[in-house]
Amino acid sequence: MTTGITISIALDADRSWAARLMADSEPWVRLGRGYEECLTACQPRAGMHLFVARSGETRYGFTLLRERGVAGSPYLVAIGVAEAYQGRGVGTALLDHAEAFFRSHARHMFLCVSAFNDGARRLYERRGYVQVGELPDYIVDGASELLMHKRLDRS
């Protein structure tokens, strides 16, 4: 599936698409993130990068990256894959792209994943991320956010 996909910086029209994908899917629904909040997160600003995976006019998914997050290291703010394309390698391609984007100038990368988001957590673990912390009741009561870390190899 990932053949033929290009990942590039978001165009203006991609921002509302990414925000809608976020607002209409898990974990953001359970975390109470509405469209307006997601759209605000996707707006251009210094140190933030929104990338979109696509083939032609078809969008498959996105990543939202912060250059300086945890301890000054890059932080994966959000990653989303359209439901029709989940399980086809799009998330892996987006994650690999995010790491490559930062690898030349960073040694570490962090992200948070909701404890109830089993599929995402498994993807991150398969890609070498390790849980380094837990934030109980951080966004919603009864659910933890898991802080995960990966050392980026310079290879």
Which domain CATH number covers 136? 3.40.630.30
Instruction: Give pTM, 2 decimals.
Output: 0.92
Q: Are 82 and 53 in contact (CB under 8 A)?
A: no
Residue type at 59 in one-letter notation: R
φ/ψ of residue 74, rounded to 5:
-55, 150
DSSP 16-40: HHHHHHHHTSTTTTTTT--HHHHHH
Question: Looking at the domain assignment, is residue 112 inside a domain?
Answer: yes
Letter string b/e over residues 46-83, b meaning 16 or more CB atoms within 10 A of that residue's CB: eeebbbbbbeeeebbbbbbbbbebbeebbbbbbbbbbe
3-state helix, strand, coil in the chain (%, to 5): 30, 30, 40
Is 43 buried (19+), middle (13-18) or exposed (0-12) by CB count in 10 A?
exposed
pLDDT tens digits in sequence order for the chain, 155 residues long? 567 899 999 999 999 999 999 999 988 888 888 999 999 999 999 999 999 999 999 999 999 999 999 999 999 999 999 999 999 999 999 999 999 999 999 999 999 999 999 999 999 999 999 999 999 999 989 899 999 999 998 76
Q: Which domain holds residue 48?
A: 6-151
Question: Looking at the domain assignment, is residue 1 inside a domain?
Answer: no
Q: What's the total number of domains in the chain?
A: 1
Question: Looking at the domain assignment, is residue 120 inside a domain?
Answer: yes
